[in-house]
Amino acid sequence: MRALVVAAPASGAGKTVLTLGLLRALGAGGRVVAAAKAGPDYIDPQFHRLAARRPSVNLDGWAMSPTRLRALAARQGAPLLIVEGAMGALDAAADGSGSAADVAAALGAPLLLVLDISGQGHSAALAPAGLRALRPEVPLAGVILNRVASPRHQALARSALASLGVTVFGALPRSPGLHLPSRHLGLVLPAEVADAEAVVSRAAEIVA
């Protein structure tokens, strides 16, 4: 089994929408893919189930040992596991344990970093550079640019990332059609989002 951990510098960067798009697009393309959520969140896995059409599992790097994490991941019975991180890539418990980066390290999986570049250009390179400096043992597969305003905007970010040798796999535009509503506990439940399926389908179209 291979795994990929979708992470970001902070909450609200677009991890969930990208994860849903990947799950649906890969499944539609004939790939057998499973989903997981880093941490104890119970809402995001419900969206994963909508996109992947199979249950999603929680991989809690704070409450579970690396051995337990690997066993649960293997039990999903798919050649590819996509894990959605929580909060920022290095955020977790007060002592710093249990982050998306920790889950990636336990699974031997690379990170795919979602960068919300609204209001940024060359500064988009700061987060990948910091991640490499702070967690050099966790491989960075590359990045997805999110909330891109224009071709020029994308080009500025790509130029800065290229100078670091960071692969840009794609870009998502600023679009109200790629938004999931949230509240204090996180996202609103899928059953409460009238257009949840439309958001998943739209994300899959762009990712594909």
Rg (CA), the chain: 16
Band (183; pLDDT cuts 50, 70, 90)? very low
- Is 18:86 a contact under the CB 8 Å cutoff? no
- Is 101:23 a contact under the CB 8 Å cutoff? no
**For tokens 């894990």, what's the residue?**
83
Mean pLDDT of 118-133: 97
CATH code, domain with 191: 3.40.50.300
Task: Inform me whether the pLDDT recorded for 184 exceeds 80.
Answer: no
Residues 187-201 pLDDT 10s? 556 655 657 788 888
Host domain of residue 16: 2-207
Other beta carbons less than 10 A from residue 62's beta carbon: 17
Question: How many structural domains does the chain have?
Answer: 1
- Return the pLDDT at 188: 59
- Return the pLDDT at 191: 59
- Return the pLDDT at 197: 83
Residues 45-102 pLDDT 10s? 999 999 999 999 999 999 999 999 999 999 999 999 999 999 999 998 888 789 999 9
- Return the pLDDT at 95: 83
Residue 199 to residue 51: CA distance in whole angstroms: 10
All residues at 6 or more sequence positions from 202 whose CB lies less than 8 Å from its CB, including other chains: 175, 177, 178
- Return the pLDDT at 176: 72
**For tokens 């998306």, what's the residue?**
100
Mean pLDDT of 139-159: 97
Summary mean pLDDT of the chain: 91
